[in-house]
Amino acid sequence: MGTGFSIFLRKTGTGLLGSSSPPEKPGLGDLPESCISSIFMYLDPPEICKLVQMNRAFRAASLADFVWESKLPSNYKFLVDKVLDHENLPKKEIYARLCQPNCFDAGTKEVWLDKSCGQVFLSISSKALRITGIDDRRYWSHIPTEESRFHTVAYLQQIWWVEALGELEFEFPPGSYSLYFRLQLGKTCPKRFGRRVCNVDQVHGWHIKPVRFQLSTSDGQHALSECYLHQQGSWVHYHVGDFVVIDNHKPMKIKFSMVQIDCTHTKGGLSLDSVLMYPSKFREKLI
């Protein structure tokens, strides 16, 4: 009997004098997993990644599919079909893979998500564009460089008629997007003593007439801008215009161009890297 009574005292925390030890206070680890997952739906991915390091309950709650499906863009199934090999992945794994650059169309295009907000970004290589004279080495050539995400750019030595056309059919999430041409006046050369080198000897003709940039969409949107190219030796994002996506379940066809066809003078020394499509709110990052 004495043994049983002492066990009772240990379980209840009551001593012979009626004293009791204070009960343990509940901690974050005692929250129900479903409750933690519901909270995670209102947090950004970087915040979730910090919290999962606190304890096992948070880590387990972060694996719930509905948490990461709320972070994925509305067109994520289209992206999975287009760039991922496996369809039956956990939503967290899908988000992680889509945040990496994913190539499609024979490696001439890349799409990725911003890690902090899940917005869609897209880049199109110069090799995916229809460039007048690109097959004639007297005018254009493809040169390798580490300064392009596609590891190659189109370089113009000299020509009278500059025209680069492109198009894309893609299913974007609803929102406003901006389109840019990434250009450089000058030719990037191999580094010397670890320093960047850009040869501008062939740059000429861009100060006489402006370059015309245009875009149009399959639902009737149009944008046009003109700009003199004058900044030498560094990459510049030239803003073509903006377009708005309303229906996220219908692919949109976008046509875009860069033209300088005044044949009174030659133009040369231009590097054309890519065309980028970003959510408009990220425009300041490119300027």
**Structural contact between residues 174 and 279, judged by C-beta atoms closer than 8 angstroms:** no
Scanning the structure block, which residue is given the tokens 């947090």? 43
Tens digit of pLDDT at every position of the chain (287 positions): 444 444 443 444 444 445 555 666 666 566 777 888 888 888 889 888 888 888 888 888 888 899 999 999 999 999 999 999 766 899 999 999 999 999 999 999 999 999 999 999 999 999 999 999 999 999 999 999 999 999 999 999 999 999 999 999 999 999 999 999 999 999 998 888 888 999 999 999 999 999 999 999 999 999 999 999 999 999 999 999 999 999 878 899 999 999 999 889 999 999 999 999 999 998 777 65
Domains and CATH numbers, the chain: 33-69 (no CATH), 123-282 (2.60.120.260)
What percent of the residues of the chain are helix, what percent strand, and what percent coil, each to the nearest 5?
A: 25, 35, 40
pTM of the model: 0.85
Calpha distance 120→131 (Å, rounded): 27
